[in-house]
Amino acid sequence: MGVLTVNNLSYVYEGTKKKVLNNISISFEQKKTYTIIGKSGSGKTTLLALLSGLDLCKDGEILYRGQNLKTIDRDDYRSKKIGVIFQSYNLLTNATAIENIMLSMDISGVKIDNKKEFAYNLLQKVGIDKETADRKVLKLSGGEQQRIGIARALSHDPDIIIADEPTGNLDTATEESIMKILTSLSEKEDKCVIIVTHSEKVAGYADEVWGIENGKLSLVKKKY
Amino acid sequence: METWNLGGIEMYILKNAMKNIKRNKGRNLLMAIVMGIIAVTCVIALIINGATSSIITDYKNQFGSEVNVELDYEKIYESGDMNNLPTATIEELKGYANSDYIKDYYFYLEAPAVSNNITSINQEENSGIQGSDGAVGGGPDLGQPNLKVIGSTSYQLFEEFKKGERKIINGRIFENDNEVVISEDLAKLNKLKSGDTIVLRSIADVEKDIPLTITGIYQDLTKDASADFAYKDPYMTRRNELLTNYETAASLVGEQANSMSRIKYFLHSPDDLEAFVKEAQGKGLSEYYSFTNNEYLYKQIAGPVESVQKISTVFLVVVLILGGIILVLLNLITLRERKYEIGVLRAIGMKKLNVIKTLVYESIIVTMVAVTIGIGIGGLASQPVSDKLLAEQIEQKQEQMDNAGSNFGGASVALPNDVEMIDSLNAELDLSVVLAIFLIGSLLVIISSSMSLIYITKYEPIKILSERN
């Protein structure tokens, strides 16, 4: 059984009739990187919002380790079970990088002896040095902010990492670096990494590539 | 990894709130300044309100509750029947006092009297006056009175005793009819002591001797006003005043007691006046009797204080409304930024309640710091501000009185000698003001965090973030 399972999921936005997602089923497993590829408006971001518990499905179900997201505390799910990396980073811009990581750890209820040192190490791991970590997010580049976003997603050691166009705003060199970090999470740390993208290049890093078109999800490519 | 306990969660929320205040210095400083200004003005206004309220209530009760009863000659004149003046006997007037609206009543009478075996003070210097024509008090053939008998229904109402201007130094105060207390000077001059009997004649019956027993000697501590005058009228000399009960004084003037008496009722509340008048008229009191309280005097004395109170109340309301509006506007201006913060915190799993707590803690800290500083500044500023406001109001009132005087022949309208205009307020910070300010502070906390709270409770994080993105 997958760590995250989607069964017969359909979704219609309020006030509209069109099914953005139409009877989707998929199972995500640990130690694997998945990409969901599709054009703008294909429903991939909607799927990501549902998978990350930011929105709730009406038709069908999403199960985290067999538990329906409708029945569990979604705040706990977001803060403890998954790590979300946003395309527009969604960091507290007035706070420093280290403060963003530590706040996320506080929200998740992480209790370790030296949180600050842990956070610095985490940032170091994604390529953010101590000096940069102590600067306000607002003063950092897009690539640096995205690295902080990744570190924040990892700060509470979740099973699943969900990333929405993680390299959408970044240059090619940074894209490569970010993708290496993400894929290494599944390879070396046994995480389930789900990346939503419109970039075929990014999709190429995945173990499984799924395409979404007109609300339907289908397997495009699978590494064996 | 382990998880925090409940105390830990509260701690990080508080810590995060404090960090947020530091991170958003500009916004919070602006909020604190607005709140501080609101707090300072509220403290000053509330302190002034408190100080003025107690004075106003006291004076209102004092002047509004004291009702004088007298014939309304203007009304009688208008009726065209000046020959048949309405009368009310003392017994009837006492009967009206038997009312639920009346707390106490006070009948006071000054009766001219003559004694041939007592030498009154200043009488020697004016020998020959006694017994001459032109009697004071209108008594037939009494001659010039050399003594004044003052009767009152209540010893307590001899204000001089209350104020310490007179005090009993020997014997006791009168208790029964035909008992008097006399002055120390009069007693010495005539070698009189407690227990002695003096004989008077009065306008009620100039041929009849009225024996009165001296029960006590009083000392008059006021300056002898007659000393400054060349002509020293024994009747007008305070130390020639014999103090007794109302009935004894009334018996000295006989039928004239009705017209010579000063009658005062004390109402439970100034608001009862109309109802009491109606009740008395229902019991048979002529409509030509008027009941007047000292509203004019009250307005002269407490008018400036009332004005200060009105100013401070208007100021308080205006500041609260304007301050509230400014805070809401400030919130609206910073809402976009706040919404984003809320969206991020919710997206990474912070519970609604904890986000609310963070925002409320922030508001509480900023508000309480601002309010505490405001209380300090307001407390220090309230006395000079109230002094200045009151001085301005007194000046205005004085100008009004001077103008009113010049409209009536040039002399300014003066207050009675024993009454002074209130010229100072004790504007002190007390617990009730502090509590009220913290209540206002709580209101400011609600206002300052309400917009954000609406967003937290109404919208999901995905909606807040997608709006921004």
Domain locations along chain B: 9-62+298-403+413-466, 66-101+268-292, 107-265
Q: Which single residue is written with the structure tokens 């400014």? A: B326
Which residues does chain B have within 8 Å of residue A76's beta carbon, measured at their own beta carbons?
Answer: 349
Q: What is the percent of chain A with per-residue pLDDT over 90, rounded to a whole number?
A: 61
A162: left (phi over 0), alpha (psi -120 to 50) or beta: beta
Beta-carbon separation of B23 and A77 below 8 A: no
Q: Which of B4, B462, B468 sits opposite A49 (nearest CB)?
A: B462
Q: What is the pLDDT of residues A101-154, one digit of tens each?
A: 999 999 998 888 899 999 999 999 888 999 999 999 999 998 899 999 999 999
Enclosing H/E stretch for A25: strand A19-28
Look at residue B424 in the predicted model and tell me its pLDDT.
Answer: 75
Q: Is B463 exposed, middle or buried (0-12, 13-18, 19+ CB in 10 A)?
A: middle
DSSP alpha helix (H) spans, B334-351 = 335-347
Q: What angle do CA B261, B263, B265 make, to 5 degrees?
A: 170
* B337 or A61: which leads in pLDDT: A61
Q: Are strands A160-164 and A192-197 parallel, antiparallel or unpaired?
A: parallel
Which residues does chain A have within 8 Å of residue B8's beta carbon, measured at their own beta carbons?
Answer: 109, 111
Side chain identity at residue B9, one-letter code: I
Q: Which of A92, A99, A152, A196 to mutate to test the interface with B (most CBs of B within 10 A)?
A: A92
DSSP string for residues in B4-28: --HHHHHHHHHHHHHHHHHHTHHHH
Q: Using the Cα atoms of residue A28, residue A32, residue A38 and residue A43 in order, give the sign of their dihedral.
A: positive
- A223 in Cβ contact with A183 (< 8 Å): no
pLDDT above 60 (res B418): no
- How far CA B159 is from CA of B152, B166, B174, in Å, comes to 11, 9, 16
Token pair, residue B272, equals: 């009862």
Look at residue B412 in the predicted model and tell me its pLDDT.
Answer: 45
Task: Determine the average pLDDT of the residues in B147-167.
Answer: 79
Q: Using the Cα atoms of residue A168, residue A173, residue A176 and residue A181 in order, give the sign of their dihedral.
A: negative
- B215 in Cβ contact with B171 (< 8 Å): yes
Which residues does chain B have within 8 Å of residue A90's beta carbon, measured at their own beta carbons?
Answer: 343-344, 347, 465
- B233 in Cβ contact with B123 (< 8 Å): no
* A106-110, B251-255, B294-298, B327-331: least confidently modelled range: B294-298
Q: What pTM, to 2 d.p., does this model score? A: 0.65
Task: Determine the average pLDDT of the residues in B336-347.
Answer: 86
| N-terminal to C-terminal alpha carbon distance within chain A | 19
pLDDT above 70 (res B4): no
Token pair, residue B11, equals: 């701690």
Residue B2: DSSP 8-state: B
Beta-carbon separation of B344 and A92 below 8 A: yes
Distance CA B448, CA B332 (A): 10
Q: Which single residue is written with the structure tokens 């008992």? A: B179
Q: What is the percent of chain B with per-residue pLDDT over 70, rounded to a whole number?
A: 86
Look at residue A67 in the predicted model and tell me its pLDDT.
Answer: 94
Nearest chain B residue (CA) to A84: B348
Angstroms from B17 CA to nearest CA on chain A: 11
- A151 in Cβ contact with A128 (< 8 Å): yes
Which residues does chain B have within 8 Å of residue A91's beta carbon, measured at their own beta carbons?
Answer: 344
Task: Determine the average pLDDT of the residues in B152-171.
Answer: 79
Task: Determine the average pLDDT of the residues in A175-184.
Answer: 87
Q: Are strands B166-171 and B179-183 parallel, antiparallel or unpaired?
A: unpaired
Distance CA B411, CA B62 (A): 28
| N-terminal to C-terminal alpha carbon distance within chain B | 33
Beta-carbon separation of B347 and A54 below 8 A: yes
* Structure confidence at residue B468 as a pLDDT band (50, 70, 90): low
* Structure confidence at residue A63 as a pLDDT band (50, 70, 90): very high
Chain centre distance of CA B53: 8
Look at residue B57 in the predicted model and tell me its pLDDT.
Answer: 80
* A32-36, A199-203, B6-10, B229-233: least confidently modelled range: B6-10
Backbone angles phi, psi at A19, to 5 degrees: -80, 115
Which residues does chain A have within 8 Å of residue B19's beta carbon, measured at their own beta carbons?
Answer: 95, 99
- A93 in Cβ contact with A136 (< 8 Å): yes
Backbone angles phi, psi at B175, to 5 degrees: -130, -30
pLDDT above 70 (res B340): yes
Helix, strand, coil: what percent of chain B each, to 5?
60, 15, 25
Look at residue B129 in the predicted model and tell me its pLDDT.
Answer: 42
Q: Which of A14, A40, A54 to mutate to test the interface with B (most CBs of B within 10 A)?
A: A54
* A77-81, A96-100, B251-255: least confidently modelled range: B251-255
Q: Which single residue is written with the structure tokens 């004395």? A: B301
Token pair, residue B146, equals: 């050399």
- B374 in Cβ contact with B39 (< 8 Å): yes
What is the SS3 assignment for A217?
Answer: strand
- B437 in Cβ contact with B375 (< 8 Å): yes
* A54-58, B256-260, B288-292: least confidently modelled range: B256-260
Listed in sequence order, the residues at least 6 apart from A1 whose beta carbon sits closer than 8 Å to its beta carbon are A27, A65, A66
Length of chain A: 224
Task: Determine the average pLDDT of the residues in B407-427.
Answer: 58
